[in-house]
Amino acid sequence: MARPAVATAERRKTRQIKVGSVAVGGDAPISVQSMTVTKTADVDGTLAQVYALAAAGADIVRCTCNEQAAAEGLARIVPRSPVPIVADIHFHHEMALAALEAGVHGLRLNPGNLRKPEEIKQIAAEARDRGVPIRIGVNAGSLHPELYKRFGGATPEALVESARMELAYFDEVDFHDVKISVKASNVPLMIAAYRLASETFDHPLHLGVTEAGPPPAGLLKATAGIATLLSEGIGDTIRYSLTADPVEEARAGRQLLEALGLRERKGLDLIACPSCGRAEIDVIGVARAAQAALENRQLPIQVAVMGCVVNGPGEAREADLGIAAGRKRGHLFIKGQIVRVVPEDEMVEALVEEAERLVAEGIEARLAAADSGAAAEAEADRQALFAEQGDDVNSSEVRVDIIRRTIAHERVVSTPNSGGSAPSGSSED
């Protein structure tokens, strides 16, 4: 006799917010998040990692914003990212304001590190005016000392109270686009804290076991905490915090949701860049056509559709296969290497043909079969586009100038942060 299907508990109803194009909470699918480990000032390196994370299943990616160079990097990263970008803020409120100027889709604030009420409210008011959500990222390892003393340690009640206090500041400026996390590295503490948070707030919850460590132990710890809560209907977005390549985080998060029946299984991973100033084609239309042509072929590969040959092959170099537009032509690439150049109106057809050959013959064989002049043709198109369009078609440098003036102004008017001047490059989550 077949066993009846066993379902997880009914999902807790929460408010819904939007992180860029991704809905979080309510009846939206549970989303997967990860964080880059590159220096955010390294724009090309960070974008390459963002694309790799998107290809591995990340719906949202977080980048640290710990210094002016990082904020300026975000201004150049955001318009080229295939997924929403969240800025991670710790000690310096001016970095949050600069990140908003950079155009990020969300902020993460740590109440244990950014403590001055007026600065918190200033950030919330600016986020409110821009329609940008904030995650209140409480962490047991950086709990406010007064709460630690009052509750006798990093207890579930202390973690939830930290989030409640931050919400009160937000309420004062009528800001409500919030999600909450109450993370700990101790799994039972993490589970208890989130259970209490789910009873206390109706805001969406971001789940994670902070600093879980390297695999396999880190994977086990994170899964024990996240899966337990998801099976109880608690949680709207998740992150595995592993001491490993962040691609492993994204892949593990996606696999967990699929295993629990909370996200649909799929063989094809198709990613596409946003339609920024360099796009030479209707990226959305081509991506939809490629998805329709490929999704029923059961090809277990990662495919990228990129709007321009200037940045596309490099940014999506972790994808198995991709195509980028340039000067009325499509530039087909495998693992970032150009293999063929085709007319623009044959882009989707060429992509499908190469995808089938790639699965049948393997990556090395298809790289060996590359057209001999393809790379040179692509480079010529790339240089021609630079000459025609210039270096800053996304107006990133305008944002960078505003960021510099914003930071300079805030440093002049602000008094020293009562939370100290600790470096803000922490990757805690």
Digit-coded pLDDT (tens) for 292-311: 999 888 888 889 999 888 88
Q: Which helix (H) or strand (E) holds 347?
A: helix 347-361
* Burial letters 379-409, b for 16+ CB under 10 A, else e: eebbeebeeeeeeebbebeebbeebeebbee
Q: What is the pLDDT, as a whole number, of residue 227?
A: 97
Q: What is the mean pLDDT of residues 220-235?
A: 97
Highest average pLDDT, of 279-283, 321-325, 415-419, 420-424, comes from 321-325
Q: Domain 269-389 class?
A: alpha beta
CB-CB contact of 280 with 326 (8 Å) = yes
Q: How far from 262 is each of 27, 29, 156, 235, CA to CA, in Å?
A: 12, 7, 27, 11
The C-alpha atoms of residue 106 and residue 91 are separated, in whole angstroms, by 17
CB-CB contact of 148 with 194 (8 Å) = no
Reported as a pLDDT band with limits 50, 70 and 90, residue 428 is low
Q: Domain 16-265 class?
A: alpha beta
DSSP category for residue 7: P
The C-alpha atoms of residue 41 and residue 52 are separated, in whole angstroms, by 18
Name the percent of the chain lying above pLDDT 70.
94
Q: What is the pLDDT, as a whole number, of residue 5?
A: 44
pLDDT at 426 over 80: no
Q: What is the pLDDT, as a whole number, of residue 421?
A: 42
Q: What is the pLDDT, as a whole number, of residue 182?
A: 98
- Tell me the pLDDT tens digit for each residue of 342-358: 998 999 999 999 999 99
Q: What is the pLDDT, as a whole number, of residue 423?
A: 47
DSSP category for residue 240: -
Q: Calculate the CA 61 to chain-centre distance.
A: 1
Q: What is the mean pLDDT of residues 399-417?
A: 85
Q: What is the pLDDT, as a whole number, of residue 278?
A: 76
pLDDT at 221 over 70: yes
Domain boundaries, the chain: 16-265, 269-389
pTM of the model: 0.86
Q: What is the mean pLDDT of residues 49-56?
A: 92
The C-alpha atoms of residue 281 and residue 314 are separated, in whole angstroms, by 18
CB-CB contact of 345 with 360 (8 Å) = no
Tokens describing residue 74:
């975000």
- Tell me the pLDDT tens digit for each residue of 2-32: 333 445 789 999 999 999 999 999 999 999 9
Q: What is the pLDDT, as a whole number, of residue 323?
A: 93
Alpha helices in 209-298 (DSSP H): 217-231, 246-259, 283-294
Bridge partners of 64, per DSSP, are 88
